[in-house]
Amino acid sequence: MTHQQTGSNTDGMKHILSDAVRGASYDVILQSLLDEARLLLHDESWASVYLMDEDASGRHLRLAAASGIPAVLTDMLARLPVDPAGTPCGRAAYGGRIVIVEDLRDDPSPAPYLDAAEVHGVRACWSFPLHSPGGRVLGTLAYYHAAPRAPDADLLGRIGYFTDLLALLTERHLREQESERQRRLYETVLSNTPDLVYVFDLAHRFTYANAVLLQMWGKTFEEAIGKTCWELGYEPWHAAMHDREIEEVKATRAPIRGDVPFNGAFGRRIYDYIFVPILGPDGEVEAIAGTTRDVTERKRFEEELRDSELRFRTITNAMPQMVWTALPDGTVDYHNERFDQFIGWTEEMASGTNWAQELVHPDDRERASERWQHSMASGDTYEITLRLRHNTGGYRWVLARALPLRDEAGKIIKWLGTDTDIHEAKLNEEALQAANQRKDEFLAMLAHELRNPLAPISAAAQVLRLAPHNPDKVRQYSEVISRQVSHMTTLVNDLLDVSRVTRGMVQLDKVPVDVKAVVTSAAEQVHPLVEAGRHTLALQLGSAPACVLGDRARLIQVTANLLANAAKYTPPGGRITLALDVIDGMVRIAVTDNGNGIEPALLPQVFDLFVQGKRTPDRAQGGLGLGLALVKNIVQMHGGQVAAHSAGPATGSTFTVDLPAAAQLPRPAAVTAPALAPSNQSLRVMLVDDNVDAAATLSALLDTAGHVVETINDPRQAVTAALASLPDVFILDIGMPLIDGHELARQLHAQPALAGAMYFALTGYGQNSDRESSRQAGFDRHFVKPVEAARLLEALDGCTSAA
């Protein structure tokens, strides 16, 4: 221990304090002050300053400065525990009070310290806590003496001056250290964020800019700080905009936000920024802080998303289908315009909890809900046909389908669905099924109807064989056969006619037609039926002319059909009225009866093919359910309409036909050519038919009429035979095996010797195309089987004999 005689001097203190004011380092000032404090003791004393430290192991004292203490001892005293049973300094720091140990030999300090004191000749130790203005212990000031010693009051007072000064400087030092630490912290944070961070002063100058902002400007901190946007080279509109915004934040003290494109070191980018006011303790705006984020990628992504969303919407709106999407819980969150149109979407619908479900037909709802729940639970494709409410208030059949959209983890994030309107197809399918069923029923009925006449024919044939010489029986049973054949012929003709009409194979021969004449002819035609039913038929033809452009024969057929039905379906003694009217450019034929009437269930289908009412025993006439279908088709071909009315069974019926009226009256009927005088000549006729029976009966008929008939059943023999007999007329069956009628006609025509003969075709086919084929094969006439004898004989009468 060296002894210093110098006392504390005012010059030294002035010096130290002016150093402190000028910002000298804390360590230097601390050392100077400690040296000065040591000078208070005019003997061989050492001094040290400890500062309080805290780490994971707790609080302790760290030797911050030492004066006079040998280095070997400072090592040992470098760190002291803050401890109520420790060294005098440890105790002073612990209790926050002065500890004076006059003689260390009486002190309870731990052994190692006492031993070291002994070795270095330290007998007394005083320790003074350094109190911050707030009362916190910042450290201690310690004196060590070579002999036992206690301070007097004066000394204590002067030491107190030093401890106050030391505490003050230490407090300031710690604060500076703390704010430096904070500055480093903020600086680290701010220079490592990708966002731009800056502060404006009230004159719009940058007072702070973080590293990335400086980088974007391409400027150093010194170059940029203190400059305005204008001075930093912002485009004028941009600088002016920020000026306005800073002023706005100053005026409103509220943050503002914006986004702006900027050309900087990183190229042209889009920035999202926010300016916030920094308020002083008085609540006034002191500065404006800003942060700016580069949102170029986000904006691009948003734009792409918007684009893709727009594409999706445009495509879905262009589709004829309804398109919708649903969340994983089934809530529909998008539907396209087509869907909106279909259901007649209103915003109020959205307020209902289950609007999508409520659109489903009540009868389909449970099935649809089950299927949908299953799909949502399992992720299976949803597919169902159901009825959906249409904006017209009715329901339409749709095919609903939906597929799940999954994220990368396979979780369902959306359902994408479509509804396709299959209403027409579904109805067609149902109609087709119904038609098919009707067709089957019809075939069964047809078979029955065709078999019915066979029994009397067969019985009659039997009688004729057994009693060939009984003229009465022969006549009676021939009549039975004729009647039945005529009935069958009617059935077959109806059948052929309906098939041709409904397939559109019939050409109408349209001329101006007087409907009154049509109606009268039809009434004449059904006269026997009306008579048989003892009905009265009243024709109310009116006075106005009723003319249409149409096919006279077909219109007679239509009217006769309606009248025949009225007669058939009215119990004997009924009243039938046919009224003719011209209303609004339409000619209306209405046939009303007071007969059976029509069941409401049958009424809508009564014009359909094969549709018939229940068969009752009084339906002896037994039609095929074709008549009204024919009527409807023919009327439609004339641009007209049909309708049926009946209040139900036994209330009678009214059938109406409306046809567009023609302005022109029908031309007077063409002058018919004078009928050919019966020639009564005998012709040589060659009949070629492979059907022996048919050939024999026709031959008998021609023979009876006075012609000379040669019958050939094998067409291969026809040419030779003809060259021998040179017939005037050839009647050739068309449908023959080996050589058909057409071919045979060509072969016969090729024979010069046979030139001048007439050719008649005999066939089951009577369509225009069949007639055309006959003409091309060289036939002069075309007869459809069964041949009307009168017409055939009439045609023969028109031929001339070569003889």
Residues that bind ligand ADP (CB under 6 A): 565-566, 569, 593, 595-598, 606, 611-613, 623-629, 653
Three-state DSSP at 105 gives helix
Minimum distance of ligand ADP from residue 570's CB (angstroms): 7
The nearest distance, CB 762 to ligand ADP, in angstroms, is 29
Give whichever of 325 and 565 is closer to ligand ADP, judged by the CB atom.
565
Pairing of strands 412-421, 322-326: antiparallel
**Residue with Cβ nearer ligand ADP (151 or 623):** 623
- Contact between 229 and 246 (Cβ < 8 Å): no
Give me the long-range contacts of 262-266 (CB less than 8 A, separation at least 24): 262/238, 264/216, 264/217, 264/218, 265/215, 265/216, 265/217, 265/218, 266/216, 266/294
Alpha helices in 256-361 (DSSP H): 296-318, 337-343, 347-351, 355-358
Residue 702 CB neighbour total at 10 angstroms: 22
**Nearest-CB residue to ligand ADP?**
623
Q: In angstroms, how far is the first alpha carbon of the chain from the final one?
A: 182
Q: What sign does the CA torsion over 662, 665, 667, 668 have?
A: positive
User: Hunting for tokens 């002819």 — which residue is that?
Assistant: 521
Q: How far is the CB of 627 from ligand ADP (least distance, A)?
A: 3
122: its two tokens: 């330290």
Residue 504 beta carbon to ligand ADP: minimum distance, rounded to whole angstroms:
19
C-alpha 29: how far from chain center: 83
Which of 39, 564 has the CB closer to ligand ADP? 564
Q: What is the smallest separation between the CB atom of 528 and ligand ADP, expressed in angstroms?
A: 17
Task: Give me the least distance between CB of 770 and ligand ADP, in Å please.
Answer: 26
In whole angstroms, what is the distance from residue 383 CA to residue 375 CA?
9
- Which of 127, 126, 129, 125 minimizes the C-alpha distance to 114? 125
Whether 260 and 229 have beta carbons less than 8 Å apart is answered as no
Is the Cβ of residue 631 or residue 736 nearer to ligand ADP in the bound state?
Answer: 631
Report, in Å, the least distance between residue 643 CB and ligand ADP: 12
Classify residue 432 by its DSSP letter. H
Closest to ligand ADP by CB, 104 or 523: 523
> Where are any strands of DSSP class E within 507-629?
511-514, 536-540, 547-550, 575-583, 586-593
Query: b/e string for 459-489 if b means 16 or more Cβ within 10 A?
Result: ebeeebeeeeeeeeeeeebeebbeebeebbe
> Smallest gap, in angstroms, from Cβ of residue 598 to ligand ADP?
5
Q: Which residue has the tokens 């007999």?
A: 725
Q: Which is nearer to ligand ADP, 323 or 628 (CB)?
A: 628
* CA distances, 719 to each of 522, 692, 707, 751, 752 (Å): 47, 19, 20, 8, 12
Classify burial at 119, counting beta carbons within 10 Å of its beta carbon; exposed 0-12, middle 13-18, buried 19 or more.
Answer: exposed
In 408-546, DSSP assigns E strands to: 412-421, 511-514, 536-540
Minimum CB distance to ligand ADP, residue 563 (Å):
9
- Minimum distance, C-beta of residue 391 to ligand ADP, in the bound complex (Å): 37
- Residue with Cβ nearer ligand ADP (568 or 782): 568
Query: What are the structure tokens assigned to 295, written together?
Result: 């949102």
Order the strands of the 758-763 sheet from edge to edge.
Answer: 708-712, 684-688, 729-733, 758-763, 781-784
Q: Which is nearer to ligand ADP, 613 or 786 (CB)?
A: 613
Name the nearest CA neighbour of 623 among 435, 495, 537, 526.
Answer: 495
Report the residue number, 598 or 702, with the smaller CB distance to ligand ADP: 598
Of residues 159 and 626, the one with the C-beta less far from ligand ADP: 626
Tokens of 162: 């030093």
Min CB(608)–ligand ADP separation in Å? 9
Helices (H), 615-730: 627-637, 692-704, 718-725
Which is nearer to ligand ADP, 404 or 597 (by Cβ)? 597
- Nearest to ligand ADP of 298, 439 (CB atom): 439
Please identify, using beta-carbon distances, which residue of 323 and 566 lies nearer to ligand ADP: 566
Task: Report the residue number, 173 or 632, with the smaller CB distance to ligand ADP.
Answer: 632
DSSP class per residue in 68-91: S--HHHHHHHSEEE--TTS-HHHH
CB 316 within 8 A of CB 339: no
Residue 317 beta carbon to ligand ADP: minimum distance, rounded to whole angstroms: 48
Shortest Å distance, C-beta 779 to ligand ADP: 35
Judged by beta carbon, residue 151 or residue 595, the one nearer ligand ADP is 595
Smallest gap from residue 529 Cβ to ligand ADP (A): 12
Distance, CA of 401 to CA of 418 (rounded, Å): 5
Residue 625 or 715 with smaller CB distance to ligand ADP: 625
> Which 8-state DSSP code applies to residue 400?
E
The least CB distance from residue 577 to ligand ADP, in Å, is 12
Residue with tokens 């203490």: 69
Nearer to ligand ADP by Cβ, of 128 and 442: the residue is 442
Instruction: Kindly state the smallest distance separating residue 445's Cβ from ligand ADP, in Å.
Output: 9
Counting beta carbons within 10 angstroms of the beta carbon of residue 351, is it exposed (0 to 12), middle (13 to 18) or buried (19 or more)?
exposed
Where do the DSSP E strands lie in 719-773?
729-733, 758-763
Find the shortest distance in angstroms from Cβ 698 to ligand ADP.
31
Question: Could you give the angle at the alpha carbon of 130 between the alpha carbons of 94 and 170, nearest 5°?
Answer: 125
User: Which residue's CB is nearer to ligand ADP, number 443 or number 738?
Assistant: 443
Q: Give the nearest distance from C-beta 548 to ligand ADP in angstroms.
A: 22
In whole angstroms, give the CA distance from residue 552 to residue 522: 11
Q: Give CA–CA dist 627/498, Å, rounded.
A: 8
